[in-house]
C-alpha cells in the first residue's frame, strides 16, 4: 500500500469554525490562547522535523534490504505500525515541501501528507503554496483558512478540472489528427469507421481482462509464498534451538539433576541444567558471567563447557575455582559483566538477636528478614554497578517448605527488593524439581492452599535505563 492510499483512509473531521471575535472572549482568555498557539506551533514544528528524520531512516532501510525483511524489522525492532511508517517515509520524500507547508501555514502531519500526495495537480498545489486563494463553494480561501475536509475537496475539484482539461486536449489532438488526415485524402477514400474496429476492440478487452486476472493471481501467490517462507524460517529457528538443548517454554522440567558440575555433595546447589538454560538464553559465547554466590562452583563448570568467562566468588566457597569475595563489596570495575546469576540463600525465618556493636554480618543465610533486606540492597547496588547497560540479571529462587514457619513467598520477596532497587523484570520461568517429597509433605499446603515445594522460579531483570 502506498502513502497516497493511506492518506485517503485518514479520518476527516467536519468543522464549521467561526471567527474568534464571535465568541466574546475575555482579554485573559485571548492572551492565554495566543500563548497556547505558540506552544502548539513550536512543538508541531519539532514533531514534523522528527518525522522527517525518522522517515529518512526508514527509507535508508528500504533501499538496503528487501520489503519482506523491512516489514519484519519494522514490527519486531521498531514497533510502529506499517501505516505510520509509510506516512513518515512519504513526508521524508517530500522534505522541502513538507517543511514549507508547515513553516508557512502550520499544518499538521495529516494535512501535509494530503498536500504532498501525488494525486495533487501541480498547478493547484503550487497556487496554494504560493499563498494564493482558491474558490470553494463560491468563496475564496487561502491554504491557511482551509480545513482538512476543504483541502480534500479542493484537491478533488482540481483533479476533476485537470481530468477535463486532459480529455479536451486529447480530443483536440485527435480532431487535429483527423482533420490533417482528411486533408491528405481524396473524398472517396474517407472511412468513418476503421475496418475490423469492433473485432480489435473486443480482442483488446479480452486481453486486458486476462492480464488483470494473471496479475491478481501472481500477487496472491507472492503473498502465499512470503507467508510460507516466514513460517518455515520460524520452524527452522525453533528446531535449531531444540537441537542446541534450549528449552522453548516458560516451564523447565528437571527430570534428573546432572552431577557433572559443582559440588555433588552440596544439596542446596543450583541444578546444572538450570544454569545451562540461563547461560544459553541470556549470554553469548565469550561473555562474562558473574556469580557472586557460587559456593559449590556449578556456574564455573557450566561456563567452562559453554565457552563463557566465569567470574565466580563466595564468602565461603566449596570449589577450588571460586574466589573468596563478599557480594556486598565486589572487587570488579564498573560495567564489565554481561550476565549476573544469583542463587541467594533464604533469610532466617525466626528472628535473630543482633549483638550491639558487633560488626554487621553480610552472610545472607545468617540474617533475619529486616537485616537480610539491608544487606541484599547493598548486593543489588554492586550488581547494578558492574552490569553492562544491555546486560541481564537472573535470580534463581526455590520454593520454600513452610510447614514449620508458615508460608513465605521467597520469590516475591526477592522480586520486590530488586524492582525497588531500580531493575525491571523482563521474563520469568518455572523450574519443576524432582523428588521434592512424598504426598505426606503436601498435606499442610492442601489445607492452606499454599504452593507445593516442588518447583523454583527463574526471574530475569534488566536495568530500568536499558529497557
pLDDT tops 70 at residue 430: yes
pLDDT for the residue numbered 389: 92
* More confidently predicted of 368 and 341: 341
User: What are the tens digits of pLDDT across the range 72-100?
Assistant: 887 788 788 888 888 888 888 888 778 77
Query: What ranges do the domains of the chain cover?
Result: 3-119, 208-243, 251-466
pLDDT tops 90 at residue 138: no
Q: Which of 411, 351, 417 is nearest to 379 (CA)?
A: 417
pLDDT tops 60 at residue 442: no
pLDDT tops 60 at residue 404: no
pLDDT for the residue numbered 338: 96
Mean pLDDT on 26-53: 76
* Residues 6 or more apart whose Cβ sits within 8 Å of residue 323: 312, 313, 314, 317
* More confidently predicted of 214 and 356: 214
Provide the CATH number for the domain formed by 251-466 in this structure.
3.40.50.150
Q: What is the 3-state secondary structure (H, E, C) of 166-217?
A: HHHHHHHHHHHHHHHHHHHCCHHHCCCCCCCHHHHHHHHHHHHHHHHHHHHH
Q: Which of 286, 382, 390, 254 is nearest to 275 (CA)?
A: 254
pLDDT for the residue numbered 22: 76
Confidence of residue 240 (pLDDT cuts 50, 70, 90): low
- The rounded radius of gyration (Å) of the Cα atoms in the chain is 36
Query: What percentage of residues in the chain have a pLDDT greater than 90?
Result: 20
Confidence of residue 226 (pLDDT cuts 50, 70, 90): confident
The position carrying cell 560495567 is 335
Confidence of residue 4 (pLDDT cuts 50, 70, 90): very low
pTM of the model: 0.47
Confidence of residue 376 (pLDDT cuts 50, 70, 90): very high
Task: Report CA dihedral (362, 367, 370, 373) to the nearest 10 degrees.
Answer: 40
> In whole angstroms, how far apart are CA 202 and each of 122, 191, 215, 306?
36, 20, 20, 72
pLDDT tops 60 at residue 403: no
- Provide the mean pLDDT of the chain: 77
Amino acid at each position: 500500500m502506498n502513502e497516497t492510499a493511506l492518506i485517503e483512509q485518514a479520518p476527516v473531521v467536519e468543522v464549521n469554525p467561526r471567527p474568534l471575535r464571535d465568541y466574546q472572549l475575555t482579554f485573559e482568555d485571548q492572551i492565554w490562547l495566543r500563548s497556547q498557539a505558540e506552544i502548539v506551533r513550536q512543538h508541531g514544528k519539532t514533531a514534523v522535523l522528527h518525522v522527517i528524520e525518522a522517515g529518512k531512516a526508514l527509507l535508508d532501510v528500504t533501499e538496503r534490504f528487501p520489503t519482506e525483511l523491512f516489514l519484519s524489522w519494522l514490527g519486531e525492532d521498531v514497533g510502529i505500525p506499517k501505516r505510520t511508517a509509510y506516512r513518515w517515509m512519504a513526508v521524508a520524500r517530500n522534505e522541502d515541501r513538507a517543511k514549507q507547508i508547515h513553516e508557512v501555514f502550520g499544518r499538521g502531519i495529516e494535512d501535509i501528507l494530503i498536500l504532498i500526495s501525488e494525486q495533487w495537480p501541480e498547478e493547484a498545489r503550487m497556487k496554494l503554496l504560493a499563498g494564493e486563494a482558491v474558490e470553494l463553494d463560491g468563496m475564496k480561501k487561502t491554504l491557511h483558512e482551509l480545513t482538512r475536509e476543504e483541502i480534500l475537496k479542493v484537491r478533488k475539484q482540481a483533479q476533476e478540472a485537470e481530468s477535463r482539461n486532459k480529455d479536451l486536449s486529447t480530443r483536440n489532438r485527435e480532431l487535429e489528427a483527423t482533420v490533417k488526415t482528411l486533408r491528405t485524402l481524396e473524398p472517396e477514400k474517407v472511412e468513418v469507421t476503421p475496418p475490423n474496429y469492433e473485432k480489435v476492440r473486443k480482442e483488446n478487452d479480452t486481453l486486458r481482462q486476462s492480464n488483470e486476472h494473471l496479475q491478481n493471481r501472481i500477487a496472491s501467490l507472492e503473498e502465499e509464498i512470503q507467508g510460507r517462507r516466514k513460517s518455515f524460517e520460524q520452524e527452522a529457528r525453533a528446531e535449531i534451538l531444540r537441537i542446541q538443548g534450549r528449552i522453548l517454554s516458560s516451564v523447565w522440567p528437571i527430570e534428573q539433576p546432572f552431577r557433572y558440575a559443582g559440588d555433588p555433595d552440596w544439596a542446596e546447589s543450583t541444578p546444572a541444567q538450570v544454569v545451562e538454560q540461563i547461560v544459553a538464553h541470556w549470554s553469548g559465547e565469550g561473555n562474562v558471567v558473574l556469580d557472586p554466590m557460587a559456593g559449590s562452583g556449578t556456574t564455573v563448570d557450566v561456563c567452562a563447557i559453554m565457552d563463557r568467562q566465569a567470574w565466580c566468588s563466595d564468602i565461603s566457597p566449596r570449589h577450588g575455582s571460586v574466589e573468596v569475595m563478599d557480594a556486598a563489596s565486589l572487587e570488579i570495575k564498573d560495567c564489565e559483566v554481561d550476565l549476573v546469576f544469583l542463587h541467594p540463600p533464604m533469610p532466617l525465618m525466626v528472628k535473630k538477636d543482633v549483638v550491639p556493636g558487633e560488626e554487621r554480618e553480610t552472610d545472607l543465610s545468617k540474617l533475619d528478614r529486616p537485616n537480610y533486606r539491608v544487606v541484599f540492597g547493598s548486593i543489588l547496588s554492586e550488581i547494578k554497578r558492574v552490569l553492562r547497560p544491555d546486560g541481564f540479571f537472573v535470580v534463581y529462587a526455590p520454593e520454600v517448605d513452610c510447614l514449620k514457619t508458615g508460608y513465605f513467598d521467597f520469590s516475591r520477596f526477592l522480586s520486590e527488593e530488586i524492582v525497588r532497587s531500580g531493575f525491571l523484570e523482563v521474563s520469568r520461568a518455572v523450574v519443576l524439581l524432582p523428588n521434592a517429597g512424598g504426598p505426606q509433605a503436601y498435606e499442610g499446603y492442601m489445607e492452606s492452599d499454599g504452593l507445593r515445594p516442588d518447583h523454583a522460579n527463574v526471574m530475569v531483570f534488566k536495568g530500568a535505563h536499558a529497557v
